[in-house]
Amino acid sequence: MDVDALRSELAGIGLNAFGVADPARWDVSAGRERQAQHLLPGTRSILVFGSGGPALWNALLDDLRAHPEHLCEEAHPLDAYARRAVSRADSHLGGARRRWFFASGDAELHLDFRMLADLAGLGGRSRMGLLLHPEFGLWLGLRAACFTDLALPFSQRIEVDPCVGCPAPCITTCPGDAFVDGAWSVDRCSAFHEASRRCDSSCDARGACPKGAEHHYGPEELVYHYDRAAGRPLLRALAGIDADADGYEGVGPHWNTWRKKVDVRGGSA
Ligand code: B12
Ligand code: SF4
Ligand code: SF4
């Protein structure tokens, strides 16, 4: 078992943010069927992996140029790429008992990854409703978590509010009036998406955050994450893949229907 080798292999493809959460703290807030002892009896640590900045996207582009079938055969190629990388690197955990979960919208079982990453010390809770990482700011995706019986030292949680002292350009820049009492509201933001196409392919509020601004995603990656219908053809073009070869259309994010598709709580705590 070599957790450092696992970390370093995954960091090499852009899963460059890592922390270890205490399952006992997770169990306090997770719904009953999401509690560690239910997901993997004997869990002693939860490893959490995120991707900061554009590194994962760039690694995906390299992979698709070499293996176009990875785009053509996957509805969500970035998520699929992260899963493949995890399944290759998993052997570093040797005989440890473990169970992996992913943050993708089509995961079999949804866990609240913002909460997991918070417990694993990856960042603090921002006004944007996103986890704000000390280095990558809001430019952090959460990708995978491994519940394991390995006893590892837990990462230090970031208790301080990452937005303290900031004049909050996120709020003043937002064209959709999506903040209520200084915090992002999913319902206000979704209502604006319903009424206007202004935020179809980007979020000005997120883009205005000064923290980790140097890790801002590039324009193509932004379109891919915010507007899959436009982002998928763009990804095909970047990877040099013909539209006819691609078996999928880009779909999502589902601004107004996600509550019907995603349940990360799974019953009361
Ligand atoms: C459904 C979903 C959506 C829905 C609903 C969003 C929402 N806020 O819940 C829609 C489609 C609208 C959406 C939009 C976006 N999403 Co989204 N989404 C998800 C998904 C799949 C599940 C989230 C969910 O079920 N929420 C429902 C409940 C849990 O949410 P809630 O009650 O509002 O949230 C409570 C808890 O999260 C809790 N909480 C407890 N501990 C902590 C700790 C911290 C640090 C935070 C921030 C919150 C938190 O606080 C909230 C209020 O009580 C997750 C992946 C996952 N499995 O976690 C990604 C996820 C949350 N989304 C993400 C992102 C980046 C986005 C977008 C920017 C779009 C995009 N394409 O990139 C936008 C804007 C989101 C924003 N400003 O919050 C990232 C967040 C990364 C981060 N750094 O925090 C995630 C983790 C996906 C990923 N792979 O990284 N998303
Ligand atoms: S997507 Fe648009 S409405 Fe929603 S927070 Fe971002 S800028 Fe505001
Ligand atoms: S702009 Fe300022 S207040 Fe808004 S999320 Fe970033 S740090 Fe927080």
Are 193 and 82 found together in one domain? no
> Considering only CA atoms, which residue is closest to atom 3 of ligand 3?
168
Q: Is residue 105 part of a domain?
A: yes
Give the type of residue at 2: D
Q: Is residue 245 part of a domain?
A: yes
pTM for the full model? 0.96
> Considering only CA atoms, which residue is closest to atom 55 of ligand 1?
103
Are 173 and 194 found together in one domain? yes
Domain of residue 75 covers 3-154+220-253
Q: Which residue from 188, 204, 225, 255 has its CB within 8 A of the most atoms of ligand 2, so it is best to mutate?
A: 204
Are 174 and 248 found together in one domain? no
For residue 22, the model assigns a pLDDT of: 98
Q: Is residue 124 part of a domain?
A: yes
> Considering only CA atoms, which residue is closest to atom 57 of ligand 1?
103
Q: Is residue 86 part of a domain?
A: yes
- Per-residue pLDDT in tens (0 to 9) along the chain, 269 residues: 899 999 999 999 999 999 999 999 999 999 889 999 999 999 999 999 999 999 999 999 999 999 998 998 898 999 999 999 999 999 999 999 999 999 988 888 999 999 999 999 999 999 999 999 999 999 999 999 999 999 999 999 999 999 999 999 999 999 999 999 999 999 999 999 999 999 999 999 999 999 999 999 999 999 999 998 899 999 999 999 999 898 888 887 788 888 877 777 765 43
Are 17 and 38 found together in one domain? yes
Q: How far is the CA of 79 from the centre of ligand 1 (A)?
A: 16
Q: Is residue 258 part of a domain?
A: no
Residue 131 CA: which ligand is closest? 1
Rounded Cα–Cα distance for residues 97 and 46 (Å): 12
For residue 269, the model assigns a pLDDT of: 38
Are 8 and 128 found together in one domain? yes
Q: Annotate the chain with DSSP letters as a single string.
A: --HHHHHHHHHTTT--EEEEE-HHHHHHHS-GGGSHHHHSTT--EEEEEEEETTHHHHHHHHHHHH-THHHHT-SSHHHHHHHHHHHHHGGGGTT--EEEEE--TT-SS---HHHHHHHTTS-EE-TTSSEEBTTTBT-EEEEEEEEES---PPPPP--S-TTTT---HHHHH-TT--EETTEE-HHHHHHHHHH-STTSS--HHHHT--TTGGGPPPHHHHHHHH-HHHHHHHHHHHHT--GGG---------TTTHHHH--SS-S--
Total number of domains in the chain: 2
Q: Is residue 98 part of a domain?
A: yes
